Amino acid sequence: MKNCPCGSGKTLAACCALIHADESLAVAAEQLMRARYTAFVTANIDFVLRTYHSRCNSHSERDEIAVAAEIDWIKLQIIDSPEAVDDTAFVEFKAWYMEDGQLQLLHERSRFLREQVGEHRYWRYIDGTFPTPAQSDNTATATKVGRNAPCPCNSGKKHKKCCGK
């Protein structure tokens, strides 16, 4: 069985696919963050759009979101996911992807708000900020990595056996 792209160690069917089918299962913002990442990996554009906060008007960005889903996403790492305060939560993450043969890094601190949808309250992505290079332990966003060099995603494996596949 295929492992879930979110890095939980569970199978996709036992992890994010469940949240893709029933958003109410994302009881914490981090769960929604992982499911959104997995939706980008699996090109589940409708889930990504549905999990934006209504103030974002995400449906007008459908084409741009579809382009982002075409990226070769490699790995997700959750850096910090503190407890929610009231109906606001933050999840800091790093997501590695390949573009033009180079390993790229997206480092973001995402903000999630609970939003009433019908009778239910769901976590929704509202926006995010990008830590400055001084705040990040990985200042380079584009790196040409040798095949035998350690993988920059910090897996402990050689690049050729990890993100360089």
SS3 label, residue 98: strand
pLDDT at 107: 96
Alpha helices of 44-98 — where are they, by DSSP H? Answer: 45-50, 62-69
The reported pLDDT for the residue numbered 155 is 57
The predicted pLDDT at position 143 comes to 47
**Nearest C-alpha neighbor of 150 from the set 160, 138, 162, 158:** 158
pLDDT of 140 reads: 40
Residue 71 near residue 97, CB atoms below 8 Å: yes
H/E stretch holding 19 reads helix 16-21
Rounded to whole angstroms, the Cα distance separating 2 from 107 reads 26
The domain 16-161 is classified under which CATH number: 3.10.450.50, 3.40.50.150, 1.20.210.10, 3.50.50.60? 3.10.450.50
Please check whether residue 137 is in contact with residue 145, taking contact to mean a CB–CB distance below 8 angstroms.
no
pLDDT digits (tens, 9 = 90+) for 53-90: 999 988 898 999 999 999 999 999 999 999 999 999 99
Task: Report if pTM > 0.75.
Answer: yes
pLDDT score of 165: 58
Residues of the chain with confidence (pLDDT) below 70: 1, 133-165
Helices (H), 42-79: 45-50, 62-69
